[in-house]
Structure 1
């Protein structure tokens, strides 16, 4: 009677349910349907919940097991947790709470399957786009589809995204999955080249073209001939250089400094920017004609905070790679670690996530392997006796610092993001000791 009522309740809650009267029948169902989660009592005729857990673990590494236990069986449930049970529910349980636990278990099971599938593809040496642009969120699925469509089309592309979202990875995929894959892929960081050297770097020069030009130098445009040229952080390119780049892109030929000879170019341009180039051109900080010439297609990369459970999937991916690189076993993630991953703001996006995975794999944190302390080091400075005012101040400081990092320390952008007056933000920063 209780099992029938529970089955009906779970069906009404949106679950597909298969019920069994005992361990043997239940394990046969596990073999048959490979469920995302198994809900079992601790004490049953024909075996215990611990027996079921061990048998399920032997059959399926991705199926989560949840125990229903009476008050006297809590020690056995704790032992089951040590052996890998997802959670346990005490009788009498609240149906809504049970549904929440089951949904979390199903999500965890799906994540394990995605990680196992990703590892299988990587171990098999596959070059599928899904092993390069990792993630199962809607944003990443749309991005992979757009990359594959654009890779086949010989068009210039703007890749827009926050710092650390993987713009160069996307540019590389556009090249590697295109007919130009056998040609060179050349990446230039426009922000890293001094203004007086950028033209020589991009267009090349002849011997004697200027003081110090002791020999002929091939520029990046020419070096990328037959392949793809990535102009990273193009918003940082000086206006004078933008005008000359526009001409090279329009005419598809380049003239080295100190030469009158035009060199034909067969090159695809991918321009990457963390700034909205349309807004930059309207503000007069970027040439509008260059923007229009480059903007044959635009790929927008979603920030990590908008990618849901991709955060955990990517962390597992980077953690496994780091453990292999360092020659260490990959540490186990606990529920508190998962919570820390999902609630962190990730202002540095995938780059920050990879760094956190490296630190977690190395176990460099002085308090032990804890993602919570790795991601929020300021929390450790607060004593347990900290007052409410001190805790609120620490939280406000963390939020403001996160938004400053996410918006490249633009006060105007942080004011918009936090929806506070500029004066209020300045006062809080001064009071909390937050520096721009």
Structure 2
């Protein structure tokens, strides 16, 4: 969407329409105004990225009929209805049927602007989710390493460039960043794709087992070796061998692995015979093997033998622009697996996607998408962080500050209404209006004594605009 959110404004009253248009344009919106609904409908489709603000009583197609037609075009276009006093019951019914909001005449300019901002933000999220979902569906499993940032574009280009070279590759990246995906792509995009892709996690096997797993053994080679076993290296001959967490490989096994890389031959346990193997080795490490302090017991000569081509996968926190696309892909995949409709991503989830550090990288993001697909995002152990103050607009900062002052006053007076409104210096109705707007429950602050004032919250009727004096 453009920076200036588009608004279609419809009102047959020319003076009111011009005044509303001027108010909205001064607030930064791009307004297209129309004197009737028929001409406005010609400009609206599912691709429309903005909102509609319409009067209810108009000749020809009135606001309610317009709302019904818009529901048929795209039920997720936010529609705000401008109403006279006698139209309020109709507007309330429209809200129940899915209209975004109604504004009763006469109304303050700020009331119109604030509601339009919220509606435009909701539409922005809907359109963003649709675009990301379409991109993820189009990509499917044919486009692993999902991402549109320059670093991911370069990584994919490099993979295609070296895929057919048969050179051994060292992949560096944090836990969950997608190292096995990179290894799989190197195999899939190479001439070796007809052979086996064999993966082994060096950190998952004890030292007593890893050599047998890698090199194989003959019957009777050791206690329990009842029959001959082909090792992972030989099984990968003609294909690709992926060694994950190679930094955890025992030192004795490293010596033998160095020989495999140099001579392309193995000697299974329990025999002196050597066997030639045709393999490509892709090794992955979650530490910097080039740094002696991190390398530890990992052999330097093995590192240099592996370090013909090194690919680095950036963590998610360094490519945040890719997070929404990745999340949409995982959410669609999880929803299909759980046989559920893909949910609309809430603002709370959007904030978490943008503010969380994702130490578990793509794997953590995938698991978070599964919880969202199951409707568990609010009850998950992953905290949803508030938006930092410097990311809020000035009105949003003022709203947050006002809510904090009210909470502090309620806490200081034990929830006593009379004392709190005297301390704040505002009328009782304004106080209750602000509690309603900020979602504050007075009962949360009641101390050991009963509140001295009227503790019944004032309800906002359909005929009362939600404006604070």
Same fold (TM over 0.5): yes
Structure 1 residue aligned with 2:313: 301
Matches within 5 A, 1:250-269: 250-269=262-281
Partner of 2:50: 37
1:238-262 deviation line (CA, Å, top 9, x unaligned)? 1221122122112222222233333
Aligned to 2:134: 116
Could you give the per-residue CA deviations for residues 271-302 of structure 1, whole angstroms, max 9, x where no partner exists?
Answer: 11211121257754322222222222233223
Report if the CA contact (8 A) 1:41-1:68 is conserved. yes
Q: Which residue does the alignment assign to 2:367?
A: 355
CA distance in 1, matches of 2:275, 2:99: 65
8 A contact 1:207–1:216 mirrored in 2: yes
Aligned to 1:410: none
The structure 2 residue matched to 1:143, chosen from 143, 149, 155, is 155
Instruction: Give the C-alpha shift of residue 374 in structure 1.
Output: 0.9
Q: Mapping of 1:263-302 within 5 angstroms?
A: 263-280=275-292, 283-302=295-314
Deviation, structure 1 residue 236: 0.8
Residue 206 of structure 1: how far off its partner (Å): 2.3
3-state secondary structure, aligned to 1:180: helix
Equivalent position of 2:109 in the other structure: 92
> How far is the alpha carbon of 1:70 from its aligned partner?
7.9
How far off its partner does 1:138 sit? 4.0
TM-score, normalised to structure 2's length? 0.64
For 2:361 and 2:100, locate their aligned partners in 1 and report how far apart those are by CA, in whole Å: 32
Answering whether residue 218 of structure 2 is matched by residue 212 of structure 1, we say no
Partner residue of 1:83 out of 91, 94, 98: 98
State the number of aligned residues.
Answer: 363
- SS state at 1:298 partner: strand
What is the match of residue 40 of structure 2? 26
- Indicate conservation of the 8 Å contact 1:319/1:330, yes or no: yes
Deviation at 1:136, TM superposition (A): 3.5
Does the CA-based 8 Å contact 1:50-1:80 persist in structure 2? no
Partner of 1:372: helix, strand, or coil? coil
Deviates more, 1:290-299 or 1:91-100: 91-100
Match of residue 345 from structure 2: 333
Query: 1:200·1:219 contact (CA, 8 Å) conserved in 2?
Result: yes
User: Could you list the runs of 4 or more consecutive aligned residues of structure 1 that deviate by over 6 angstroms after TM superposition?
Assistant: 6-10, 70-75, 94-101
In the other structure, the counterpart of 1:373 is 379
Q: Secondary structure at the match of 2:193?
A: coil
Which protein shows a greater Rg? 2
**Which stretches in structure 2 are left out of the alignment for 5+ residues?**
1-17, 386-406, 409-469
Looking at structure 2, the residues matched to 141 and 71 of structure 1 have their Cα atoms a distance apart, in angstroms, of 55
CA deviation string 1:24-83 (max 9, x = no partner) = 33332334x93433453455846566665654554458x854748689899959965973
**Deviation for aligned residue 1:333:** 3.1
What CA distance in whole angstroms lies between the structure 2 residues aligned with 1:71 and 1:92? 16
Hey, what does 2:255 align to over in structure 1?
A: 243
Q: 1:357 to 1:106 in 2, by over 3 A?
A: closer
**How big is the alpha-carbon RMSD for the aligned residues of Structure 1 and Structure 2?**
4.1
Q: 2:206 aligns with which of 194, 201, 205?
A: 194
What does 1:409-424 align with in structure 2 at a 5 Å threshold?
none
Give the conservation status (yes or no) of the 8 Å contact 1:281–1:287: no
Deviation at 1:188, TM superposition (A): 0.1
Aligned partners of 2:102 and 2:362: how far apart in 1?
Answer: 30
Answer whether contact 1:282 1:288 (CA < 8 A) is retained: no
Rounded Cα–Cα distance in structure 1 between residues aligned with 2:367 and 2:223: 42
For residues 381 and 71 of structure 2, what CA distance do their matches in structure 1 show? 32
2:348–2:384 contact (8 Å) kept in structure 1: no
1:373 aligned counterpart, secondary structure: coil
Alignment partners' CA distance in 1, 2:384 and 2:31 = 47
Q: Say whether the 8 Å CA contact 1:53–1:80 is kept in structure 2.
A: no
Counterpart CA distance in 1 for 2:307 and 2:96 is 54
| Distance across 1 between alignment mates of 2:211 and 2:157 | 35
Decide whether the 8 Å contact of 1:71 with 1:91 is kept in 2: no
8 A Cα contact 1:255 1:261, kept in partner: yes
Following the alignment from structure 1 to structure 2, what is the Cα–Cα distance between the partners of residues 188 and 213?
20
2:287 and 2:323 map into 1 onto residues whose CA distance is: 24
The C-alpha deviation readout for 1:217-245, integer Å capped at 9, x for no partner, is 21111110111111011111112211221
Deviations 1:174-204 (Å, cap 9, x if unpaired)? 2122221111000000001111222221111
Name the counterpart of 1:396: none
Distance 1:144 1:360 in 2: 29
